[in-house]
Each structure stands twice: as C-alpha cells, then as structure tokens.
A and B are shown apart, each in its own frame.
Chain A
Amino acid sequence: MADNQIKFFLELIRMNMKHSYALKTAFWLRVLFMLISNGIMLVGWGVMFHQFQSINGWTFSDFMFMTGLNITAFSIWSLFFRGTGIYMAHLIENGGLDHFLLTPKNILFHISCSASNPAGWGDFITGFCLILASNLFCFSNVFLVLIFLICSVLCFLTIGFFFSALNFWLTGFSDLSERLFYIFFNLSGYPGSIYSDWAKILLLTVFPIGFISILPVEILKTFSLPSFLYLITGISFLFIGSILFFYNGLKRYKSGNQVNTRGYQ
C-alpha cells in the first residue's frame, strides 16, 4: 500500500517536472530570477543586522537559519505539494473534485501533489545554502534540522488544507484563501525575536507560523526538551486537525458536473 503511494507520488512529481520544463526559458528564468529576488531580500536584511548587530538576541546567523528553513520548507511545498493552495481552493469552489473522488488514490494526497511551481527550485537552492551557511547548523544536528524541516513543511500544508477546506463552507472564498495563505507565509519571514510575548503565544497556537520562525532557532540555540516536544506534538495536532477539517468539509462537496480532461499545473 505505502509502496504504491510512493510510486504514485514519484510519478506525479515526474509529470509535474515535465510540465514545468516544457517552456525551458521560462523555467530557468523563474529559477534564476527567484535566486536574484531572494538575494536582494537578504542584502536588505543583512544591512539591517549590520546596522543593529543583533535584534533582541538574534544575530544575522540566526536569521539566516530561520529564513533558510522557511524558504526550503516553502520550496518543498511549492515543488511537490502546491496543489494545497489556490489550486485546491478553485477545485472545491468550481466543483472540480469529481476526477479525484473517482480514482482509488487518497484524495488529499492526490490533489496536493497535482501542482508544482518551478520557481521553487530557486527557493530550494537559496534556502539550502542559507541553512548550511548559518552558524546554528553543524553536522551533529543534521537530524534535528531535518525534523524542523519536516515540521515546517507540515505547517505550510496545515495552513493550505485549512484555507482550501474553508471553501466547502464559504462560496467565492478561493481568491481570499490564497491571500490568507500568503499572509501567513509573509509573517513567517520576520525574525522571531521581534514579537512580543502575546504575539508569540498567538504564533505558537492559532497562527502556527511560530513553529517555523520562532521555535526551531530557539531550540537550536538552547535545547529544551519541552519546547522540542511542543513543536512535534503541536504541529502533529494541527496537521491532523486540518486533515479532519478537510474531510468534514468534503461531506458538503457539490459536483460541478464538469466534462473535461484534467491537466497538471
């Protein structure tokens, strides 16, 4: 069963890659321009950290790690699970889930892996380099960093599932759900140290981006088992909750009776 799902996942990735690479110039330009765009942003933050040295205890190296983790997780979401964003929201809104409901594969997994953005490679390269360049990363904590990365990807998936599934209840919400998703992504790009205590509580509960921008760096700087366990259990709880939320909404799904073929995004 699991072997079958992995084969299916790899096949979807192959299809998405083929689709992305169909326009070669556009593919490479997206990757290159994304690298430049991330570079400009880093220069900006670099200048700020040069000016202020540290922001509430965070150095540029801490920020590099946080941004690296954030961008790498986003790129993994963007490359392999982009179906959870606007794509899924539009499918729900337009009654286009029939195709997925009729296949024997897991519907949530199938939709999530059905779209990809080639610019994600530019993000992936930047994020990976930033993690490696950060002082917080060393080979003894590779395993820990991998766990943080998985948690961060799950965090983006959770937010994606939640905002997409809201379209089962709210009509005409698809554009808004994409914007709300990007609000969360934007918020995860600021150093965790600038938030007040109240904001931190919010970001580690109802707006879970603190699992990307606050906890990983704090844990790597001073390891604390309760924080680590909170990260793992918190994100697992939210992730499972978002899946249940989706399936609960699916009961309200109404088909659009569309007769068409489905292409990959």
Chain B
Amino acid sequence: MRPFFLLIQSSFKFQKKQLPVIGTRLVLLLILICIFNQFWQIVKDGNSATAQINPVDFIWYLMIGALLQYSRPEGLHYQIEQEIKTGNIAYKMLRPISVISIYFFSGLGSFLFRLPLLFIVSALFLLVLKGGELPQTFDAVPVIFLLLLLSGIFISLCTVFIGLSTLWLQDSLPLFWILQKAEYILGGLFFPITLYPQWLQEIALATPFGWIGYGVSRLIYDYTPQAAFETGIHILFWIIILLIFNHISYTFLRKRIAINGG
C-alpha cells in the first residue's frame, strides 16, 4: 500500500503549488453560488415544487453538488491523452505499479486536497450569505463528506477512463465535455432532480451521475440513514463498473503498446 500513499502524498505536494489555480476555481464556485442564490429567490415563489425546498437548503444542496465538479483532478485526462499520443506511457508501464493506479492515485490525491479546502471556504461563505442559518439536516455533514470521498473515487476513476478513451477516440476532450454536462444535468447540479419530469428523473437515477450528484447533495436537507446507505451502495456499484472498464482499457493499451512499441 505504501507506493499508493506516496503517490497521494506527491499529488498533495503538487497541489500546494497550485493554490492560485484552486483559488480561481473557488472564486468561480462562489460566484456560481451567488448566481443561483439570486436565481432561487426569483423562482421560489409561485411554484409548488420549489416551495418544498427552502432557500438555505437549496444553496447548500447546490454547493455540495458543485464541490464535486470543482474538486475534480484538473487536466489529468489531458495528461493521459498526451502520454498515450507521445508514447511516453510506455515508460510508466515499466514501473512495478500499474499505470492505471499511478493515474488514479495522483487524481485522488488532488481531489483529497481540494475537497476539504473548498468545502470549508464555501461553507463559511454560505454561513455569511445566509446569516448563519443552517440547512435542515446539517448533522449529516460527516456522512455526506464520506459519500463525497466515495464520489471522489468515482470521479478520479472516471477521469482516468476519459484519458484512456484516447485509445479509441484519438482525443479525450469530447468525451470529457459530454460527461461534464451529464454531471450538471443528470447529477442535478443546478436543481434537485425531483423538479425534473418523471422520465428524466428515471434516466438520471439510472446513471452514476444521479447518485454522486443529487444522491449525495439531497442528504443536506433530507437525510435518512437508509437514503445515505442506498446512495453509498449505488456509488460503489458504479465504482466497480468503472474498475472493470479501466481494466479492459488497460488490457487494450498493453496490446497496442506491444504492437507499436510505445
């Protein structure tokens, strides 16, 4: 296990040098919170569906969902793409640790550094913005944080998979765009998916995005142990699926490298 911890540790050290970049993401996150706070003030009246969620709950819901987006390992998929295109990945494959693990743990390290930092600053910002008012089930924050970590594992694996998609697509960026938008819409990052029509709710919950986004964030105002457990199980299921996908990609990658010589 030691090499994996070292990978996370080195990613942590790298993130310390990335503080200005993380700062700009934080600024964008706070602006987004302000925009949607204003948006909710406008739409909350005169709509039965929105009336069920109070503004404080909504803004915390939004912040938790957005944290996943803003803590994700930036540029990792692009780094994998470049290493595949240049053939440099062949050198990493000579190491005693699987190349997938190298990417995954460095991505996870980046996520683990950013998540608490962004969470603390944006939570303090929300407290100021809402005059110290807390969401309904604020006690659930430790559970939510654990589920966010689980979601971080999913996000890191997903980013590795997007990078490896270069093997088939020649380019990782297009798939990244689609998955990012899917996270926004199917993950209910703008609005709880309960405001969607039934058919879209069903689609969202049939994908991993509905669980890592809406599934985790809704616990801030609608926490039950069963709901948290159900969300955790679903995220775990999708992590296993991604592990299988990444394993298949790795097998394919090894064959390609063997044929083309890196």
Chain B residues with CB under 8 A of A25? 169-170
- CA A52 – CA B42 in complex, angstroms? 10
Give chain B interface residues in 93-139, CB to chain A under 8 Å.
none
A183-B28 in contact (CB<8A): yes
A176-B21 in contact (CB<8A): yes
A119-B173 in contact (CB<8A): yes
Residue A135 interfacial (CB < 8 Å): no
Give chain A interface residues in 29-58, CB to chain B under 8 Å.
29-30, 32-34, 36-37, 40-41, 43-44, 47-48, 50-52, 55-56
Known: A51-B47, A196-B38. Contact between A44 and B190, CB under 8 A?
yes
Interface size on A, residues (CB 8 A): 35
B24-A179 in contact (CB<8A): yes
B174 nearest CB neighbor, chain A only: A33
B24-A183 in contact (CB<8A): yes
A207 nearest CB neighbor, chain B only: B31
Interface string of A172-204 (1 = CB under 8 A from B): 000110011001001100100111100100000
Interface string of B174-216 (1 = CB under 8 A from A): 1101101110110000110001110010000000000000000
Residue A23 interfacial (CB < 8 Å): yes
Residue B27 interfacial (CB < 8 Å): yes
- CA A179 – CA B20 in complex, angstroms? 11
Residue A10 interfacial (CB < 8 Å): no
Known: A176-B20, A183-B24. Contact between A47 and B181, CB under 8 A?
no
Q: How far is the CB of A33 from chain B (nearest CB, A)?
A: 3
- Of A23, A47, A55, A119, the residue contacting B174 (CB under 8 A) is A119
Chain B residues with CB under 8 A of A119? 173-174, 177
Q: How far is the CB of A55 from chain B (nearest CB, A)?
A: 6
Residue B35 interfacial (CB < 8 Å): yes
A55-B169 in contact (CB<8A): no
Interface size on B, residues (CB 8 A): 34
- CA A195 – CA B47 in complex, angstroms? 20
- CA A44 – CA B187 in complex, angstroms? 11
Residue B222 interfacial (CB < 8 Å): no
Q: Give the secondary structure class of B's interface.
A: helix
- CA A56 – CA B31 in complex, angstroms? 19
Residue B171 interfacial (CB < 8 Å): yes
- Of A30, A175, A176, A183, the residue contacting B171 (CB under 8 A) is A30
Q: How far is the CB of B173 from chain A (nearest CB, A)?
A: 7
Chain A residues with CB under 8 A of B38? 194-196, 199
B178-A41 in contact (CB<8A): no
Residue A101 interfacial (CB < 8 Å): no
A50 nearest CB neighbor, chain B only: B197
Chain A residues with CB under 8 A of B195? 47-48, 51
- CA A43 – CA B28 in complex, angstroms? 23
- Of B21, B47, B200, the residue contacting A175 (CB under 8 A) is B21
Chain A residues with CB under 8 A of B197? 47, 50
- CA A236 – CA B42 in complex, angstroms? 33
Q: How far is the CB of A37 from chain B (nearest CB, A)?
A: 4
- CA A190 – CA B49 in complex, angstroms? 22
Chain A residues with CB under 8 A of B20? 176
- Of B49, B170, B173, B181, the residue contacting A51 (CB under 8 A) is B49
- CA A248 – CA B203 in complex, angstroms? 54
Q: How far is the CB of B191 from chain A (nearest CB, A)?
A: 6
Chain A residues with CB under 8 A of B185? 40-41, 43-44
B181-A37 in contact (CB<8A): yes
- CA A56 – CA B43 in complex, angstroms? 8
Residue A146 interfacial (CB < 8 Å): no
Chain A residues near B (Cβ < 8 Å)? 23, 25-26, 29-30, 32-34, 36-37, 40-41, 43-44, 47-48, 50-52, 55-56, 119, 175-176, 179-180, 183, 186-187, 190, 193-196, 199
Supply 13 further A-B pairs (C-beta < 8 A) apart from A187-B31, A190-B35.
A23-B170, A25-B170, A29-B174, A37-B180, A48-B190, A175-B21, A176-B24, A179-B24, A180-B24, A183-B24, A183-B27, A193-B42, A194-B42
Q: List 12 A-B contacts (CB under 8 A).
A: A23-B171, A25-B170, A33-B178, A37-B180, A44-B181, A51-B49, A51-B50, A51-B195, A119-B177, A183-B28, A187-B31, A199-B38
Closest 9 CB pairs of A and B: A33-B174, A44-B185, A26-B170, A37-B177, A40-B181, A26-B171, A179-B24, A194-B39, A52-B43
